[in-house]
Amino acid sequence: MTVHLEVADGVGTLRLDRPPMNALDVATQDRLKELAEEATRREDVRAVVIYGGGKVFAAGADIKEMQVMDHAAMVARSRGLQDAFTAVARIPKPVVAAVTGYALGGGCELALCADFRIAGENARLGQPEILLGLIPGAGGTQRLSRLVGPSKAKDLIFTGRQVKADEALTLGLVDRVVPAAEVYEQAHAWAARLAKGPAIALRAAKEAIDTGLETDIETGLAVERNWFAGLFATEDRERGMRSFVEEGPGKAEFL
């Protein structure tokens, strides 16, 4: 298999495993969707790490596979491509991308599907599709512009240039830069911390934020309001407030 789901301590690691560069061919895309949906369903998965290994995250699509596809073939495939990445973006749990080495094209787009991105000092990110006479097709034109703003996204997409980890941090493309050897450890620690949190409230926060970014503020506020009120029916809310009153802030333990 080209993608694995490994679960420990409430954290599910979606591990890309297609040496040497984790090229995202059709089979890998479909497997990624399958496992993202499994991570969504599984109650023992409370947070997710996306990881490609110590040397490379994912260098992009399988160009040799794409080269033989004509217009009709890509019309038939493009929805499946986007659906695979959307399945990752819609995991209703905290998701962090642990980025080492190249995260280009589809690799960068996969990192964009996470809620948080931790990059190694050796990371190189970019959307080089324009150099092939193409544009990003797995969500890059939409998620990148929402993350870093339209002008910065256009710079990266129009030029196809790669950015090193320090520039990616300045652009807001990644959230933290650490030594390459520490990327997975720190990503797992971020996920493990949130895996101990209130699962329904975390899901609510993610949905409210993501929905708000895709709609007008009034609709976003309605989503927030409904979730906020709904959480008063949860055991986690009772546990959190009781702990606050009896023990002080930040000491609640959630199931």
pLDDT digits (tens, 9 = 90+) for 35-67: 999 999 999 999 999 999 999 999 988 888 989
Find the length of the chain.
255
Rg of the Cα atoms in the chain:
19
Spatial distance between the Cα atoms of 95 and 149, rounded to a whole number of angstroms: 21
Q: Which of 235, 220, 24, 216 is nearest to 113 (CA)?
A: 24
Average confidence (pLDDT) over 151-167? 98
Question: Which has the minimum average pLDDT: 54-63, 81-90, 119-128, 171-180?
Answer: 54-63
204 Cβ contact list (under 8 Å, min separation 6): 227, 228, 230, 231
- 184-209 average pLDDT score: 97
Q: What band does 250 get if pLDDT is binned at 50, 70 and 90?
A: confident
Query: What distance in Å separates the CA atoms of residue 35 and residue 51, rounded to the nearest whole number?
Result: 13
Which of the four pLDDT bands, split at 50, 70 and 90, describes residue 169? very high
Q: Which of 34, 37, 38, 129 is catalytic?
A: 129
List Cα–Cα distances, 165 to 54, 153, 176, in angstroms.
15, 16, 9
In the predicted model, what is the mean pLDDT of residues 20-32?
96
How far is C-alpha 179 from the geometric centre of its chain's CA atoms? 20
Estimate to the nearest angstrom the gap between the alpha carbon of 39 and the chain centroid. 13
Q: Which of 6, 38, 109, 214 is catalytic?
A: 109
Tell me the average pLDDT across 216-239. Answer: 95
For 208-219, the pLDDT digits (tens) are 999 999 999 999
Q: Provide the whole-model pTM.
A: 0.95
The β-bridge relationship of strands 11-16 and 47-51 is parallel
109 is catalytic: yes
